[in-house]
Structure 1
């Protein structure tokens, strides 16, 4: 039998804890128009934004720049967080300022040492959903149109 469902307030707190965890990993899904592309990346949570780092010419970076959005997944199958986000900006790692500092502080590597071929992708969450079991599917949407519902 499943545990009692968490309140939306508790789910939001759990999501924020997961986003700000040291070395937070996420699956990032983008599309090039012909089909999906899925890759695991380490992320940072900074200023209510998701920050990814990857090679400038990687499919994830190219797809985000071309299409403007991605779906991210965190957690396991019994503690799911799904995030739909839009690309707010792309920053060369050498000119990232506070974004680069925040990423390096949360991550286990510093992309600023990887050279000019890397960029930071700053994503603005638009929708966040979180659930553990079927009893948490009702009310799973915690953010809609970029605004927290709790």
Structure 2
């Protein structure tokens, strides 16, 4: 998504569906949780939002070691799978409407790290997995811009549910 996200319209369209979403965010993009929950009736679609931020809390959430680095496509898919399973277990409707969405990121920080800044988002439903990844040029982007990109990547996944 290169255009600004109209969160109000997106969450309104989502509220007209019966998707049951478990959302997990780590390393950045935390604003996506606020954006998704900042409407009356958000509990109609969201069964939980979790922020396992440290490596230890990520291992605990997963119930197993990470398959990749903490900010990797593989880990986003692994987290989305756990989120999907949790959505199924917490859902009050059939599991065909359950969704697990996970965002993991290595964001611009200070002091700068010797790692590529990157964002990975994955979504799992009964129909399969979708994932998106984006590398960020640390010289050209600041943390606030990176956060907006991460939030927009979550919005893209949610948008796929409302189409």
**TM-score computed with the length of structure 2 as normaliser:** 0.28
Higher strand share: 1
Higher helix share: 2
